[in-house]
Amino acid sequence: MALDELLAWLPPGSPEEALARQVNFEQLPAHIAIIMDGNGRWASRRHLPRVEGHRAGINAVRDVVETSARLGVEVLTLFAFSTENWKRPEAEVSMLMALLKRYLRIELGTLLQNNIRFRVIGRVQDLAPDIQQELADAEARTAANTGLLFNIALNYSGRTEITDAVRRMIESGVSPREVTEQRVSDFLYTAGQPDPDLLIRTSGEMRVSNFLLWQIAYAEIWVTDTFWPDFRARHLLDGILEFQKRDRRYGGLKPSRVATLR
Ligand code: IPE
Ligand code: IPE
Ligand code: MG
C-alpha cells in the first residue's frame, strides 16, 4: 500500500521510482531524525547570501515530509534550529524565523491533505510570541491527524531536554525508586514516540550537535555529503536502503552467530 502511494507520486521511470521498488516496507525505520545541515555552504558555493540557502532548504523539507508520509514512516523529526544557533547574527536568526512562519502558512494545507500531525519539540516558550502562536495553531489544526507524526526541533538542545526532564521529574515528586529509563523517556519531549532508528545528517559533518542525545542511543547513523537544499526523496530513499543493509545488534550477537555458538 505504501509503495503504491509513493509510486503514484514519484515520476514514472525516475531514479526515485527504482529506489522505491527496492525498499523493504516490512523493515522501515519507525522514526527518522534528520540534522538538516549545509544551507550556508550551499549558498556560498553559489555566491549567494546564507539566507538563500535557508530559503532553498524549504523545498527539501517539503519533499522529505511528503515522501516520509507516503512511505508510511511513523515519525519524522527535523532539526531546524538549535539552542546554540542563537549565536548567529541577528539578521540570520530573524530570517530563519520568518521562513519558518512562511513555511507553516504555505504548507499547512499539504500537512492536512497528507494526514500529517505536526508537533514542535524544544523550548518553544523562549520563541517570539507570534512564532509561538503560529506553531500552536499548526499543532492544533493537525492534532487529529493519524498519519506521519512530524516533529520539528526548534530552539532544541538534547542536554536542555534532559535537564528539563530531570527538573520536571523532581517537581512531580517522582521518588528515586521510580527512576527508570522508561520513566526518564516519559519526561522527554518525545514521550510516547519510538526512538529514532535512523539518524541522517547532511553536508558531511560527523557529529550529532546536541540532537536527541538520549533517543539516539541505538540509532543507525547515515551521513551524506549532500547539502540540505539539494536533499530530495531519492536521498531519503538512499538512506533508508543503507539502513536496511545494517546489522542491528544492540550489543548482542547476530541470530546466525548465536546458532553457531550453541
Ligand atoms: C543548517 O545549515 C541550518 C541551520 C542550522 C539553521 P547551516 O546554516 O548550518 O549551514 P552551514 O553548516 O553553515 O553550511
Ligand atoms: C545543527 O547544525 C543544528 C541544526 C541543523 C538546526 P549546526 O550547523 O548548527 O551545527 P554545528 O555548529 O555544525 O555543530
Ligand atoms: Mg551547519
Kindly report the average pLDDT of the chain as a whole number.
96
Q: 92 CA distance to ligand 3 centroid (A)? A: 13
Mean pLDDT of the region 102-120: 97
Average pLDDT for 180-201: 98
Ligand nearest to the CA of 93: 1
In tens, the pLDDT along 39-83 reads 999 999 999 999 999 999 999 999 999 999 999 999 999 999 999
pTM exceeding the 0.85 threshold for the entire prediction = yes
Active-site residue flag, 137: no
- Residue 81: per-residue pLDDT: 98
Is 130 catalytic? The answer is: no
| Pocket mutation for ligand 2, best pick of 54, 82, 100, 200 (most atoms within 8 Å of C-beta) | 82
Cα(43) to centroid of ligand 2, in Å? 16
Task: Give the pLDDT band (50/70/90) at residue 1.
Answer: low
Which overall architecture, per CATH, does domain 30-245 show? 3-Layer(aba) Sandwich (3.40)
Look at residue 254 in the predicted model and tell me its pLDDT: 79
**Cβ neighbours of 100 (radius 10 Å):** 20
Q: Where are the domains of the chain?
A: 30-245
Nearest to 119 by CA among 96, 140, 133: 140
The CA 86 to ligand 3 mean position distance, Å, reads 13
Catalytically annotated residue among 59, 85, 145, 210:
85
Tell me: pLDDT of 172 over 60.
yes
